[in-house]
Amino acid sequence: MTTEQAYFLTVALINLVLAFSGTRIKDPEGKQKSILFFIVAFSANFISWFLYVFDINVFLKIVSVILSSVFIWGMVVFSYKRCEHPLPLTLISAIFLINCTALGYFTYAGQLYKALHVSALFVPLAFCLIGYLFLKTKKHRNPSDIILAYACFFMALVVATRSLLLQFSPELFSATIVSSQVIWPAFSVISGVFALLSFTEEVQSKLQKESNTDQLTGLANRRSMDTILKKEWARADRYQRPLALVMLDVDFFKNYNDHYGHQAGDDRLKEVAQLLLQSGQRAGDLAVRYGGEEFLLILPDTDAATAMHLAKKICASIAELEISHQYSLLGILTLSAGIAEVSKSNYRNISELLRAADSALYLAKENGRNQAQLAPSNTE
């Protein structure tokens, strides 16, 4: 085997490994199936390079250039599916057929320079499409998506530049032949690896979100609360800024649950959570499911008066809420709320602040429920 054949075999095997790696990836739940097109694209690229390991004739050269087009436009279709963007199937199919026809004709005619010019038209178009989809249309971009996009833009520039050099500076074009033999395999590795890593990062992001989110209500859970509250406590202490907590509890929820069933109770907890999210919170505020039927609002840069106003507004909104469940009108639930505020370090730690909010909530319960109470100022 010659050095050139060994080179083609190595590049082919790289693409085969990437195609096989794609079989080990599953689309995140609820996403369009995209990985199949990735596997098809890299499998086609594997065969395209592998054919050159042998003494290739004109027919196999035509097959090779068509398979290279399958790789390029297969990655375009993969990108559309991966980014959940509507696929213009008719347009993409037409461009693909024109690309294959032109490459096949010029390869058959032995006009390789014209074949390179055809590639310089279609390859940058495809790669710019891929880059645009991952940068501008993918809803939840991750670092791998961005690297893949810029790798495609870079290759589009390289292919277009080589075509221009071929036309206007043939001597410079000849000098780029060796570099292109490095750039194309490198691009295969970068595009394949980071396309697959994108799936892994998306799953990791989903798991991280789930670990910090209450599954029933979609609010932050206690784990997330601990992290955010520590950060906001430190910030309030350092800059002497106010920090308010609003602890809320659904009144008589156990009786409601026993009478109407756990499903009805869960539905009402979801409604309370939605109302908390829609209660005009600012970007830095956090709504937490504290436990059971208890909720907590963390309100940075908020004084007691503002927190009290918000708590009363939430309690009033819940009291007015009626929800039809199946065929019966369920009873109206109410909330009680307790407010505690950090001001000039009047609480020594987070535990004291939480206890103060809980004590204020207990006071609201004792005074008849469906109301908000403010914790007395800690002067110690």
Residue 322: pLDDT band with limits 50, 70, 90: low
For residue 72, give the 3-state DSSP assignment. Answer: helix
Q: Looking at the chain, how many residues does it have?
A: 380
Span 163-183, pLDDT tens digits: 888 777 777 666 666 667 788
* Higher pLDDT, residue 235 or 29: 235
Q: How far apart are CA 205 and CA 227, in angstroms?
A: 17
Q: How far apart are CA 302 and CA 282, in angstroms?
A: 10
pLDDT at 232 over 90: yes
Span 301-315, pLDDT tens digits: 999 899 999 999 998
Residue % of the chain over a pLDDT of 70: 91
Active site residue: 293, 322, 352, 366, which one?
293
Span 85-138, pLDDT tens digits: 999 999 999 999 999 999 999 999 988 888 888 999 999 999 999 999 999 999
Residue 325: pLDDT band with limits 50, 70, 90: very low
Q: How high is the pLDDT of residue 377?
A: 66
Residue 267: pLDDT band with limits 50, 70, 90: confident
Q: How high is the pLDDT of residue 152?
A: 96
Strands 372-374 and 335-342: parallel
Span 135-150, pLDDT tens digits: 999 988 999 999 999 9
Q: How far apart are CA 26 and CA 200, in angstroms?
A: 10
* Higher pLDDT, residue 266 or 32: 266
Alpha helices in 140-244 (DSSP H): 143-168, 170-175, 177-211, 222-239
Q: Is 175 left (phi over 0), alpha (psi -120 to 50) or beta?
A: alpha
Q: How high is the pLDDT of residue 209?
A: 81
pLDDT, average across residues 28-49: 87
Q: How high is the pLDDT of residue 162?
A: 83
Q: How high is the pLDDT of residue 172?
A: 67
Q: How far apart are CA 187 and CA 155, in angstroms?
A: 8
Q: How high is the pLDDT of residue 317?
A: 85
pLDDT at 68 over 80: yes
pLDDT at 184 over 60: yes
pLDDT at 380 over 60: no
For the question of residue 293 being annotated catalytic, the response is: yes
